[in-house]
């Protein structure tokens, strides 16, 4: 196992702040703190060469987990071994093996062209000139950014910048890559290019990758294995196929109707996951689909539109996380 975490927990200490000037004065003398558990008793074993999708709703503990695995944060409890190193010791040899890329944070210098940063990176990570040139060539070709290397970062688009960020991190050939929402806010083309790159890099170097994302396509296209966190706890750890298998029996029905509708009778058959004036989204087991449709025909004055689809990935995550329907 290249990554092994046992009983990993992280509590943040949060300073309770009351608002208002008077309170901020009072605060100076009577500071109170509470503890917030972000990750709780997490076990995680990852084999070399695996790509693991780490998912969960906002605040589930994904970033905190990656920060502990890469040694940016001290765990409150538990043990971690990454490539045989204790991450938080941040040994030089360890840092050379890992890369941590955050989609919402820049590491490149704003006013410098990317190439200058790459050269600086080469020095820090002690990459041989020949290896540097070769790798840079491959990466630049892959992302088709040759013409952009000498332009200051600030003049590049978000997608172009992210590609440069990735090159900057991959130039020293890391063996373990932590990607925290690497495609956030990017256009479709850039998202696709990044996914493709991650897969190719993994394929050719057998690097180990943990990726978090809000875009399910990122996970579906890159990861075989999915780990789902909910309130800091692991609630699922298996293949994507297995995840779908458990929920393949659910369908989503979208109805656009006019007039009144008896919600209670629908709730007996399916779960209403979204409700507006004249629209309703119902999650229902395939075996009860017909029954539900008959009921809708009977209950609704008039049905304007009706669609049936498979349950989407983010709804599966909500279900795995045990979230109740909001209606």
Q: Which stretch binds ligand ADP (CB under 6 A): 60-68, 76-84, 194-202, 262-270?
A: 60-68
How far is 240 from 238, CA to CA, in rounded Å?
7
List the x/- string, 15-54, binding to ligand ADP by CB under 6 A.
---------------------x-x----------------
Q: CA 117, 119, 123 angle in degrees (round to 5)? A: 115
CA dihedral 89, 92, 93, 94 (to 10 degrees): 40
Which of 8, 42, 44, 60 touches ligand ADP (CB under 6 A)? Answer: 60
What is the DSSP annotation of 275-295? E-SSEEEEEEEGGGHHHHHHH
Assess contact for 170 and 201: CB atoms under 8 A: yes
- 60 or 284: whose CB is closer to Mg ion? 60
Which of 2, 42, 50, 56 contacts ligand ADP by CB under 6 A?
56
One residue of 58, 204, 302, 326 binding ligand ADP per CB under 6 A: 58
Decide: is 12 part of the binding site for ligand ADP (CB under 6 A). Answer: yes
Q: Which is nearer to ligand ADP, 60 or 140 (CB)?
A: 60
- Applying CB under 5 A, does 63 fall inside the site for Mg ion? yes
CB of 13 to ligand ADP, least distance (A): 7
Using the rule CB under 6 A, which residue among 63, 213, 223, 283 binds ligand ADP? 63
Q: Write out 118-145 in H/E/C secondary structure.
A: HHHHHHHCCCCHHHHHHHHHHHHHHHCC
Which of these segments, 30-38, 54-62, 108-116, 261-269, binds Mg ion (CB under 5 A)?
Answer: 54-62
- Strands (DSSP E) contained in the chain are 3-16, 32-46, 51-55, 77-82, 98-102, 176-180, 208-212, 225-230, 233-239, 250-258, 271-275, 279-285, 302-310
- Given the complex with ligand ADP, which of 88 and 269 has the nearer CB atom? 88
Is residue 59 at the binding interface for ligand ADP, with CB under 6 A as the rule? Answer: yes
Q: Of ligand ADP, Mg ion, none, which one does residue 56 interact with (CB within 5 to 8 Å by kind)? A: ligand ADP
CB 11 within 8 A of CB 35: yes
CA-CA distance, 260 to 120, in Å (whole number)? 66
Q: Is 119 exposed, middle or buried (0-12, 13-18, 19+ CB in 10 A)?
A: middle
Residue 213 sits in the site that holds Mg ion (CB under 5 A): no
Q: Could you tell me the smallest distance in angstroms from the CB atom of residue 246 to ligand ADP?
A: 22
For residue 189 the two structure tokens come to 């083309």
Instruction: Kindly tell me which of 63 and 121 has the beta carbon lying closer to ligand ADP.
Output: 63
Tell me the CA distances in angstroms from 117 to 108, 132, 171, 194, one per residue in order.
6, 13, 11, 20
Span from 62-70, 94-102, 220-228, 260-268 in contact with Mg ion (CB under 5 A): 62-70
**Closest by Cα among 104, 116, 129 to 214:** 104
- Using the rule CB under 6 A, give the single segment among 56-64, 93-101, 246-254, 294-302 that binds ligand ADP: 56-64
Residue whose tokens read 């013409």: 147
To the nearest whole angstrom, how small is the minimum distance from the Cβ of residue 131 to ligand ADP? 34
Q: Is 233 in the site for ligand ADP (CB under 6 A)?
A: no
The residues that touch ligand ADP, with contacts defined as CB under 6 A, are 12, 14, 36, 38, 56, 58-64
């Amino acid at each position: 196992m290249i990554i092994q975490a046992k009983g990993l927990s992280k509590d943040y200490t949060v300073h309770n702040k009351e608002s208002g000037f008077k309170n901020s004065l009072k605060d100076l003398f009577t500071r109170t703190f509470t503890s917030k558990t972000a990750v709780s008793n997490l076990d995680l074993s990852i084999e070399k060469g695996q790509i693991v999708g780490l998912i969960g709703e906002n605040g589930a503990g994904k970033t905190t987990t990656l920060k502990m695995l890469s040694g940016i944060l001290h765990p409150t409890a538990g043990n971690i071994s990454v490539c045989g190193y204790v991450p938080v010791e941040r040994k030089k040899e360890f840092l050379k093996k890992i890369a941590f890329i955050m989609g919402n944070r820049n590491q490149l210098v704003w006013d410098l062209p990317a190439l200058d940063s790459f050269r600086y990176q080469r020095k820090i990570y002690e990459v041989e000139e020949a290896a540097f040139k070769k790798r840079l060539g491959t990466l630049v070709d892959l992302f088709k950014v040759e013409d952009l290397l000498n332009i200051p970062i600030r003049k590049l688009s978000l997608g172009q910048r992210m590609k440069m960020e990735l090159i900057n991190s991959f130039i020293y050939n890391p063996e373990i890559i932590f990607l925290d929402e690497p495609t956030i806010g990017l256009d479709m083309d850039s998202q696709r290019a990044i996914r493709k790159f991650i897969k190719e890099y993994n394929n050719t170097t057998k690097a180990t990758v943990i990726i978090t994302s809000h875009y399910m396509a990122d996970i579906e296209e890159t990861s075989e294995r999915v780990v789902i966190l909910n309130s800091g706890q692991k609630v699922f750890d298996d293949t994507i196929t297995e995840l779908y298998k458990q929920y393949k029996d659910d369908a989503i029905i979208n109805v656009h109707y006019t007039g009144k509708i008896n919600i209670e009778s629908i709730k007996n058959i399916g779960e209403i996951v979204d409700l507006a004036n004249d629209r309703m989204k119902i999650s229902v087991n395939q075996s009860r689909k017909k029954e539900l449709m008959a009921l809708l025909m009977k209950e609704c004055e008039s049905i304007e539109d009706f669609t049936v689809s498979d349950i989407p990935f983010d709804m599966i995550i909500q279900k795995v996380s045990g979230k109740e329907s909001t209606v």
